[in-house]
Amino acid sequence: MEFTLDNLRKDALTQFDTVIDVRSPAEFAEDHVPGAINLPVMSNDERAYIGTIYVQQSTFRARKLGAAIVARNAATHIETELGDKDGGWQPLVYCWRGGQRSGSFASILSQIGWRTELLTGGYRSYRSLVVKALYEAPLEHRFVLLDGNTGSGKTAILHQLAAQGVQMLDLEGLANHRGSLLGAMRDEQPSQKMFETRLAQALSMLDPGRPVVAEAESSKIGERLIPASVWKAMRAAPRIDIAATLEARAAFLTRDYADVLDDPARMAARLDKLRALCGNERVDQWLMFLQGGHYEKLAAELMQHHYDRGYARSRAARDSNVIATLTAHALGPSDIARLAQQIGDLLDQI
């Protein structure tokens, strides 16, 4: 049997006990249906090997050898990962386009007696829904953006808003990047496709009838591009500016970037990348602050001589559309909660 997916909602696949992606690990790592597990019927090397035979030798030989590989790998999965599944287990299986890999594996599972279904069109059908939502259809959601210089606590405010019941979208969290040269996290960023999958599903869980608060971003977060429909909606969105003092921002940034500061060598390598923009003398001074543990001084210098200038240029290039400015002389937990409450009150008036 086949199952057709027609929406991106989180509950769209809840009728299945397990969603199985049988593509190679490399394909799965690039992107996959949310919640799916990877039981590859061909490894990365095996897929490349069969592909080469298909192109350079013959279709028949590729299919014959491919069938043997799929059967061996399927047997291993049944004996291991699926060994504890009872007779009532109901999986959904997919591959790239709902073809031979998923069809073969699903057939074996069905012969065992499991109520197995195939995703119509495979991963490509899911990907087409993501592309339509983020690039082709106008976005239904209404954004309100939090603006403010680096270190203003915008991401912390977003999560405090969520705790207060306000809809928010953490784009930097989805992209696994703090949105600056020094903002890369220890784990790598997701692929562009995976970022879009995360974003599309996050949007599908939000009510278009209520405003969505997000952080003002450039069109790129690290190496990930914000898709066209979302970027267009953000460009037109009203903004709430967080005007925090330099001292407050330096203290907050030191806490927020603790994971970066815990690895001085890694931080030093990032600072070195700023020499062309900020000059050798200034960067050498920053490295001395880093080596001496003067982190708040380093944070203040970075913001004053690098980040704030970049923000000023960015603001000058766009329509501000600022509807309110909230001042902060400190950014501790109680201050973040107060700012979130003020923003929530403003949203009631929009």
Residue positions annotated with a catalytic role: 95
CA angle 162, 219, 308 (to 5 degrees): 80
Matching residue, tokens 């790592």:
29
Residue 226's identity, in one-letter code, is I
d(C-alpha 230, C-alpha 209), whole Å: 16
What's phi and psi for 19, nearest 5 deg? -105, 125
Q: Which of 319, 349, 330, 345 is CA-nearest to residue 242?
A: 330
Instruction: Give the tokens for residue 301.
Output: 């210098």
Contacts of 290-294 spanning 24+ positions with Cβ under 8 A: 290/261, 290/264, 291/264
Instruction: Compute how many other C-beta atoms are within 10 angstroms of the C-beta atom of residue 291.
Output: 11
Contact 168, 142 (CB under 8 A): no
Matching residue, tokens 């990962």:
81
d(C-alpha 344, C-alpha 260), whole Å: 31
Alpha-helix runs per DSSP H in 258-306: 258-261, 264-272, 275-278, 280-292, 295-302
d(C-alpha 9, C-alpha 348), whole Å: 27
Matching residue, tokens 């931080």:
267
